[in-house]
Structure 1
Amino acid sequence: MLIHTDKKAYVVFSLWLRIFHWTMVLSVTALFWTGLYIGDPGFAAITGNPEPTFAIDGWFSMETMRRIHFIAGVILTCSFIFRFAGALWNRGDRLLPKFRQKRYWYGLKETTLHYLMIPQKHEHHWLRNSLARTAYMMVYVMFFFEILTGFTMYSMVDPNGILGTLFAPVVTLFGGEYKVHIIHHYIAWGFLFFTIVHVYMAFREDVMEESGEVSAMVSGMKYYAHDPIDIEDLNGKRRRGERIDKPSGTTYRPSDPNDPRERELQDND
């Protein structure tokens, strides 16, 4: 465990956001593995039963896997809705990319060069850099379509039922039930790819920058030697984003405007 004796602590992730994160991790894991099983049970040829739903009884029956998949999907959907509800009153939970600001594009370039190990004139500290904000926004879009296509497929069990009628326009929009399945399938693999990159980046940042990136999703705190340049994005309600100067406990103070790093960023705003 890293000891951040020479750095300042910032409350970055709210309890609400951390609960969403780990609920999402568990539900997506359950969804991915049960989804693989549903897509290719792999036991029909062994049992000789052409109907995979009843080929194996117990936990590994198709019926049980579909039930687990559906329950995990409902949990993910609820956490997804509550995630956006929490962002309504937690300003720090709304770290979205600001495409209209030059700082965003400057940060995107700087972060890309940083991950490519290319030295730069000034290294800036971000609570959430432009690349991460863009990636998370794309993930939320993926969540929306994965949930939409998932419930659409579930509704097709009874096309004439309430859900079948409700989601019928989605089938029409995507050009048929088969294409809905394909979209759902590819987005699921997209989540796997994102997870691999996300875990690698988190551990890389934690080891190289010693910012507490990995433990932050448990404690909510990250550590920096300098004030992050996007700290104003957290200075909302619930005293979020305050700097904790140990042991004095004083809170965040604006960065020095004469700092060359600040002047460089102001030129890019």
Structure 2
Amino acid sequence: MKRNVEFEFSAGLRWTHWLRAIAIFVLTVTGFYLAYVFIAPESSDEPILFLNAKFRMWHEIAGFLLIAITLYKTYLFCLDGISSKERVSFVDFISPKIWFQQLKYYLFMGEHPHLKGVYNPLQFIAYVGLYAMIFIISLTGLILYVNCYQGGGIGLFLYDYMRPIEAMMGGLAMVREIHHIVMWGILIFLPIHIYMAIFNSIMGKEGSLDAIFSGYKFLKHDPKH
């Protein structure tokens, strides 16, 4: 079968994908520590350990990195020319025919549908859900941040904007609870995402998993398309 390659993911999209994965990993480890201290430093008479402060520092660095990446990836999705195939995926998402064919494919009852965009309908709705969760966890994270650092800098700048949102959410304790619940939503998404990426790469034989590294995927030659 003749194959050719197609450029699918820009360098910006690929780099931010892996930086986001690193940020989520750091946020998960440090977040679990801040919620439940699972390690303690060796005893010392000197006030130099500050392990909780170090975990909090890395949590905040990774959090702001995640926010920056999300803003950049939103820009790519909305305005970047190379990423236009991501936007075209919405056409596949609203097509009942593509939905039906995609479900048949996942049930081993048919071939993969020909897509106009990068993502099939289930991928598209999953990514929309992921971005919604990232938005909520970033917003609640900023609310928690400004309550610790309202004395100056970005914490002081955001303080007056975050406080009304905190009140609408039911107070700081509820904000923290929402933050934790959404974290579990993201952690549930991740293994499903990895499994489906491997599934599509193996079943589709188009190197779709390789595309997030190289930017290119193989295309099966089909005279009808």
Output the TM-score relative to the length of structure 1: 0.71
Amino acid of the structure 2 residue aligned with 1:36: F
Q: CA deviation at 1:169?
A: 1.1
Identical amino acids, percent of aligned pairs: 27
Q: Distance in 1 between matches of 2:171 and 2:147?
A: 11
Residue 23 of structure 2 is matched in structure 1 by 27
Q: CA deviation at 1:140?
A: 1.1
Residue 134 of structure 1 is matched in structure 2 by 125
For structure 1, the residue ranges without an aligned partner over 5 or more in a row are: 49-53, 228-255, 263-269
Do the aligned partners of 2:112 and 2:204 also contact (CA within 8 Å) in 1? no
Residue 11 of structure 1 is matched in structure 2 by 7
Q: Deviations over 1:175-217 (max 9, x none)?
A: 1111111111111111111110011111111122211122110
Q: CA deviation at 1:106?
A: 2.1
Do the aligned partners of 2:92 and 2:98 also contact (CA within 8 Å) in 1? no
CA gap 1:38/1:224 in 2 versus in 1, 3 angstroms:
same
Residue 216 of structure 2 is matched in structure 1 by 221
Select which of 37, 40, 43 maps to 2:36: 40
Q: CA deviation at 1:100?
A: 8.5
Amino acid of the structure 2 residue aligned with 1:204: F
Q: How does 1:237-252 map to 2 (within 5 A)?
A: none
Do the aligned partners of 2:92 and 2:120 also contact (CA within 8 Å) in 1? no
Residue 154 of structure 1 is matched in structure 2 by 145
Output the aligned Cα RMSD: 2.6
For structure 2, the residue ranges without an aligned partner over 5 or more in a row are: none
Do the aligned partners of 2:7 and 2:215 also contact (CA within 8 Å) in 1? yes
Q: How does 1:38-187 map to 2 (within 5 A)?
A: 38-43=34-39, 57=49, 61-87=51-77, 88-90=79-81, 91-98=84-91, 101=94, 103=95, 105-117=96-108, 119-120=109-110, 123-126=112-115, 127-158=118-149, 161-187=156-182
Deviates more, 1:77-86 or 1:67-76: 77-86
CA gap 1:157/1:125 in 2 versus in 1, 3 angstroms:
same
Do the aligned partners of 1:125 and 1:224 also contact (CA within 8 Å) in 2? no
Computing the radius of gyration from Cα coordinates, the structure with the larger value is 1
Q: CA deviation at 1:150?
A: 0.4
CA gap 1:98/1:174 in 2 versus in 1, 3 angstroms:
farther
Q: Deviations over 1:242-264 (max 9, x none)?
A: xxxxxxxxxxxxxx6xx4xx7xx
Q: Deviations over 1:44-94 (max 9, x none)?
A: 7x999xxxxx8x926xx1100000000011111111111122231222343
Do the aligned partners of 1:125 and 1:226 also contact (CA within 8 Å) in 2? no
| Structure of greater relative contact order (alpha carbons < 8 Å, 6+ residues apart) | 1
SS of 1:212 mapped into structure 2 = coil
Aligned residues: 213
